[in-house]
Amino acid sequence: MLPRLGVSISQAARELGVTRQTLHRLMAAQVPVTPGIALRLGRYSGRPAELWLLLQQAHDLWHSRRVLRSQLTRIPSRG
């Protein structure tokens, strides 16, 4: 259930035009927010598609920082 919207995952998936599995994977951060999904979420939520893409970008950067932390410290800063 998506409490804030008062709808089930199945209903939200149907209304978004995606499979229930896709929506589950999206909510579990197992698949990225694509521009197409961002447009669907934007329309559905009333929030701009750009917001959904910015959230995905922030998630990707956070994850990359964790993975590359030790390598990044060895790269000299030239700026």
More confident: 72 or 1: 72
Token pair of 12 as six digits: 């939200």
User: Would you say 52 and 38 are in contact if contact means Cβ atoms under 8 Å apart?
Assistant: yes
pTM: 0.84
Looking up tokens 């979420």 gives 41
**Residues 35, 41: Cα–Cα separation, whole Å:** 10
Residue 24 has pLDDT above 80, yes or no: yes
Which domains does the chain show, CATH number per domain?
9-73 (1.10.260.40)
pLDDT digit string, tens, across residues 31-49: 999 999 999 999 999 999 9
Specify the pLDDT at position 49. Answer: 98
